[in-house]
Amino acid sequence: MDLFDSELRVIASARELASSLGADAHHTVAAAAMDTTGRIHTGVNVNHFTGGSCAEIVAIGTAAAAGAGPLVTIAAVGDHDRGVLSPCGRCRQVILDLHPDALLILPDRATGGETIAAVPALLPHAYRHPDAAPMRLLRLSARYFDAVRTGTKTLSVRWNESHRTGPALAYFEDTEHGTIAVDITSVARKRLDALTAGDLELTRPTGLQRYLANLRSHYPTMPEDATVEIVRFRRTTSDI
């Protein structure tokens, strides 16, 4: 999947910081994390024989200190031109509990570049800390901003994102639009190849085919037999 410019900025920030680390064996990885306003927060790992923090965790702490709120993209880069690194198991668990809707930048071994993945896809059957209670994000294309703002868009189909009912922020990818407070009212799971026009509240004869084509464009690696989530939501603020 092609990366947005905003995601490329996150990688560039992590690369720049990693290139400055020098030969200090205590600090060998840099991480960058972007919040919903487009601000990028960075950190480096801390190696120590008593245990230390990965760069992703330090960046999350830096973001929290800045009052960042939910994070949307996280990347880690190794020193000495080691490139983008996959997060370790502990980082994946922390991100799942604190920022479950963040996208993680990963090395793409097939192309030699980078790709992205939602953290739930990297931790199937994961444990979730019962007291974490993070603010959830519903990631949407920028072209839906006006429809969500006016309350005319109330449904989205998601894959590999593991949504739940309750309060959330609609976040419009790679855009300067602000978030919109929404309430996710239901999450229904169904196989992609079994979706019907009724499931998606479509009335036009060709509506289902067009919707599925757009969905596959958004999720190019999604298999035909994937289980998707039909997420219904409503705007919870009235100022439009």
Report the largest interatomic distance among the alpha carbons of the chain, rounded to a whole angstrom: 64
The three-state secondary structure class of 5 is helix
Which of 7, 56, 114, 229 is the catalytic position?
Answer: 56
Give me the DSSP letters along 161-217: ----SEEEEEEETTSSPPPEEEEEEEEEEEEGGG--TTTTT--STTHHHHHHHHHHH
Question: Looking at the DSSP assignment, which residues form a beta bridge with residue 159?
Answer: none
Structure tokens at 192: 């992609």
| CA 88 to chain CA centroid, nearest Å | 17
In order of 124, 170, 191, 192, 201, the CA distances from 224 in angstroms are 19, 27, 8, 6, 21
Per the annotation, the verdict on 224 as an active-site residue is no
CA 95/CA 90 separation, integer angstroms? 9
- Of 71, 61, 75, 83, the C-alpha closest to 11 is 75
Amino acid code (one letter) for 44: V
Cβ contact 29:18 at 8 Å: yes
Cβ contact 155:134 at 8 Å: no
Give the residue numbers annotated as catalytic, written as ranges.
56
